[in-house]
Chain A
Amino acid sequence: MSTPGSAQPRPGFIERAGAAVTSRVAIVFYALGFFIEILIETLRYVRRRPAGSRVLAMQILFTGVEALAVTAVLALGLGAIIIVQGTSLLPQFGQQQLLYVILITVITRELGPILTALIVASRSGTAITTEIGNMVINHEIEAYIASGINPIAYLVVPRFLGVIISMVVLNLYFNIFGLLGSWLISQLLQPIEFFQYFHGLFSALSVIDVFSSLVKSVVFGAIVSAVSTFHGFRVERSSTEVPQTAIRSIGQVFILLIIANALITLVYYL
């Protein structure tokens, strides 16, 4: 047994390598356990009268409402680019009727959800990691536990639900602004009558497109909130860990978003 208060003897290379691998595996299982705990507490949250409703409202305000402007600008820009490129390129191949399909595919099914997710991850994901990391440093998380307040139920679940709700709503806004923006630009290039334009769009839109977009929003919201909160809790003692953890968190969120997007798109084409 080691002497109390003293340093342990430095382990050998194999012992350190083994410890590193064990630690990585433990983190994966810990992350899975964390996610399952979020799901369980989310079910409990919707059943009881929650004290965290203020946290949920603030999260929706910060993630959803305050991100509206940047989402609208990005969507309008994207819609404009598609219509400009589409109206100039597609007629060269005699495929101008594909414009609506391209708009729906790009805005509704593919780029809408992923770009919205990237906006939310960049703004709210890093903010969540930083906020929770600082709470850990200031012993606020310990204070929640000491007061009998489950940090998963009170801090994570409202953020989890808030980010998912915001992501779905922002994705809807992205679609509205993207498709509306493309129509506005079309008025400059090749004016199309409003009802004819939207009739064309809705003809190209299927239930599966809407469902795919919705599933992506929910999954992406879950990824952004779960990974960001998980990394926030991994901060241990020093405030210098907080920005490093936020950077690690956003990197992992981006990778997981791209993988999830690819998988859902793959399922769509099966």
Chain B
Amino acid sequence: MSEAKISVQHASFVRDGFTVLDDISIEFPDAATTLILGPSGSGKTTLLKIAAGLFPPDRGKVSYNGIDITATSGANERELRRKLGFAFQDGALWQNMTIFQNLALPLQYHYPRMPADEIRSRIDRLVGAFPIRRHMTLRPAALSAGERKIVSFLRALVLDPQVLLFDEPTSFVDHQAAQRIEALLAGYKRRGTTLIGISHNVELTAQLADYLLVIIAGGVRAFGPLREVASSSDREVQQVLTEVLSDAATFDGDILDLLNNAESD
């Protein structure tokens, strides 16, 4: 396993008296793709947000290249944040801004002296073939859920991060857009970007995942290389993989067959 960039150490998270995550320790491998799988309510999104430093854990710590994410501030925090992109499950777009402003603001904030022309050309390059390029002057409320998700995904990439964290990037997105997102992610993977995400998309899992992390009821149940976890003899892990990668229900073969089929498509 390569050196870990993001490391979660003994993280616990309690909300409204419920233990969402309990003493989770995980080292996300550098320059590799780790997908987090688990049933609904198992704490996947919370773990992802803790790994991104968006939620401080109640106990434990999260570090990026040895630096405690939640303890940084000022210029160090800005520097750290430029390296971490996060695409939200629900888009989380800034409602009072246009789509262009949503994509431009991170650049304007981090590079206040960047000329407006350069900001525009960077955004044009990023948006590229996505049909969203026709809606740059609209506000998020005028977009469909899928389009909002694409914008959120592009916003996470606008600062060219070293680590990209994403939460269900292809759900609520039409097939064509999902394929574009998969291709974009594959491109970042080839460039050596560390990808950490949640996805129920079997094709995405088969094509991108180097490692699988299975969490059940707030605890790590399995973590390791894709093939190793997919061939686990743990019945609960197999059940999660089969249920979460929902298309699996239509296949007679085991999860490895499913992933092989998806990869060869």
Contacts and interface: CB of A to CB of B under 8 A. Distances in A.
Interface string A143-161: 1111111100010000000
Contact of A8 (B14, B41, B81, B95): B14
B22 A51 contact: no
Judged by DSSP, the binding face of B is mixed
A263 interface: no
Contacts of B88: 139, 142-143, 146
B92 A5 contact: no
A2 B19 contact: yes
Given A5-B18, A5-B217, A48-B112, A147 B105 contact: yes
A140 B109 contact: no
B92 A139 contact: yes
Contact of B49 (A8, A142, A144, A147): A142
Contact of B112 (A51, A140, A145, A147): A51
A222 B132 CA distance: 41
A1 interface: yes
Interface string A119-154: 000000000000000110011101111111110001
A51 B112 CA distance: 7
A219 to B, nearest CB: 28
Contacts of B93: 140, 143
B208 interface: no
Interface residues of A, number: 27
A234 to B, nearest CB: 15
Judged by DSSP, the binding face of A is loop
A149 B53 CA distance: 13
A138 B93 CA distance: 8
A6 B105 CA distance: 40
A1 B23 contact: yes
B18 A6 contact: yes
Interface in B101-132: 105-106, 108-110, 112-113
Contacts of B105: 51, 147, 149
Residue with the greatest number of chain A CB neighbours at <10 A, chosen from B52, B53, B105 = B105
Contacts of B156: 146
Contact of B218 (A5, A134, A146): A5
Interface string A1-44: 11111111000000000000000000000000000000000000
B217 A4 contact: yes
Contacts of B18: 5-8
Given A4-B22, A6-B18, A147-B81, 19 more contacts: A1-B22, A3-B19, A3-B22, A7-B17, A8-B17, A135-B94, A138-B92, A142-B49, A142-B54, A142-B88, A143-B86, A143-B92, A143-B94, A144-B94, A146-B54, A148-B81, A148-B106, A148-B110, A150-B78
28 contacts: A3-B22, A4-B19, A4-B21, A5-B18, A5-B19, A5-B42, A6-B18, A7-B17, A48-B112, A51-B108, A51-B109, A51-B112, A135-B94, A138-B95, A140-B93, A140-B95, A142-B54, A142-B92, A145-B54, A146-B52, A147-B81, A147-B106, A147-B155, A148-B77, A148-B78, A148-B109, A148-B159, A150-B78
Interface of B: 14, 17-23, 41-43, 49, 52-54, 77-78, 80-82, 84-86, 88, 90, 92-95, 105-106, 108-110, 112-113, 152, 155-156, 159, 217-219
